[in-house]
Amino acid sequence: MSAGLQNDRERKRCHLAWHITSRCNLACPHCLRRTPTQPATDLPPEQCRMILESFLQFARETDRDAEVEFSGGNPLLREDLPELLQTTGAAKKAGLVRNIRILGNPETLDDATVQMLQAAAVDDFIVSVDGLEPVNDSMRGRGSYRAAMNGIRALVKSGIPTSVKFTLVRDNAHQVVEVFRLVMEEGVRHFGMGPLILAGGGWTERHRALTNMEYRQVLLDMLHFLDAAGSRFAAARRAFLAHNRLYALLFHELGRLDEYRALTGMNPGPFGMPRGRRNVLFVVWSDGEVVLRREMARQGRVPQQSFREIYENSPMLHMFEDGFRIQELAREQQRDSIKCSACPVAACCLPAMVGTFGSQLLFAPNRNCWRQ
């Protein structure tokens, strides 16, 4: 490994996952924000400017590569998003920000917005597509499928890297392969598929969630399709299989675990936990509340407090920062789990962090695991 690559991997990072608005032009029933505990207010532009400057200052003062993720609601509805992106893009050109990501709805994409994203050098724009037109529109609202496809084409044409998220439920499980093929042919670089998360609106819609064996069948169908496609979707295939941790178990059952290890080049750690580097993650809601993760403990509020102040006074943020320590704690609880302790792919599929209790981190086996 070259010294330059090694130093790059050892660089400390900080990530701002910022839900900058509670507003959305859609009302998807499975949305994670459909819960009374989520804020329904937005901060004024001047306070949002202060929040962004505070985060960039934290990155400078602690010598970290910064990553900024704008989401919501629909961040494109913020009237001051162009200003925030301009500041973030300038910080990227200066070498302070490493990555800019947006999770937004394409219905509000127009030529001016696309040009704004280009100017800011956005690294990834993530669009949700939950099926072909009739199924997608039943989940996300009438007209949302065509808007999504038009938005994808506009983004790809402009050279903005584009990804698609697919929320897997009983209604759309039979369309995963076709949607993957469709968006890849449109030039999307990454396709992410995840089961319904049982939080927010997902809890209300839990009757639509797949059983574990149904989930296994979807993974198997996708694998058969990707195998048949050969090298056609090689980059997207590798990322897709690495992201879905239960593929390790499926590959083991098929006698192909060595292939999985070689293909992914990694043993995936607990979801959301960086490997081999120190990374501080600030999750910020639209009212400025800073939390550890979704529905986890509150750590402070910006801009009343700076990110530096919140970080220095939060033992939990320091604990979450250490990816290696998180993996050690996950393995400790894995050894105590009847389901996981004897699993043949335990090294590839650590339990996921599900919450905190005081200063203790709580982990649980993947709820979609079909292994008895």
- Per DSSP, the three-state class of 271 is coil
pLDDT of residue 127: 96
Q: Residue ranges per domain, the chain?
A: 3-322
Q: Give the integer Cα–Cα distance in Å for 109 and 2.
A: 41
Q: Which two tokens stand for residue 113?
A: 């917005």
pLDDT of residue 270: 38
| Bridge partners, residue 69, by sequence | 17, 101
pLDDT of residue 263: 84
Q: Which two tokens stand for residue 121?
A: 């050098």
* pTM for this entry: 0.91
Q: In the chain, which stretches have pLDDT less than 50?
A: 1-7, 267-274, 276
Q: Give the integer Cα–Cα distance in Å for 121 and 231.
A: 29
- Tell which CATH classification among 3.40.50.150, 3.40.50.300, 3.30.365.10, 3.20.20.70 matches the domain 3-322: 3.20.20.70
